[in-house]
Amino acid sequence: MFNYESVDLLFLGKLARILAFNLRTGDSISLSGDLGVGKTSFVKLLVNALIPSEDVSSPTFNIVNQYHFNKFTIYHIDLYRINSLFEIYDIGIDTIFDNDVGIVEWPDLLSNIVNFNLRINIQYSIKDVLR
């Protein structure tokens, strides 16, 4: 487990690039943290490391955004508005983790369905707020 006390956007970008270039088909990443903490920003940095011209946006209203890379598709999933496993199965979210890459914000509903390869928890720090 890695724990970084204070991370700026530059460092977060470096971390996202390292992760991006090590992604493999079937990888699944959970992103946890409060609203507005930077989960979607992290995904944007990661996707743009692989596909620099891609317009990455929050999937809060679409639930799922897709970004096609030459080796796989990255599915950016936001489960904030999903209330049940039925909705997950209805949308087909459970099937994408076999052949592509899934990055899930608000992953709690999937915790018993998906064995995430990597779990990232982004938190605010009072030290960062006081700067």
Mean pLDDT (whole number) for 75-93: 91
Q: What is the pLDDT of residue 128?
A: 54
Q: Residue 19 falls within a domain, yes or no? A: no
Residues in the chain: 131
CA dist 83 → 4, 13, 32 (Å): 32, 31, 16
Q: Does the residue 108 lie in any domain? A: yes
**Residue 60 resides in a domain:** yes
- Please tell me the pTM assigned to this model: 0.87
Stretch among 5-9, 59-63, 70-74, 113-117 having the lowest mean pLDDT = 5-9
The answer to whether residue 9 scores a pLDDT higher than 80 is no
* CATH number reported for the structural domain that contains residue 74 in this entry: 3.40.50.300
Q: Which two tokens stand for residue 112?
A: 């018993």
Query: Which domain covers residue 68, as residue numbers?
Result: 25-130
20 within a domain of the structure (yes/no): no
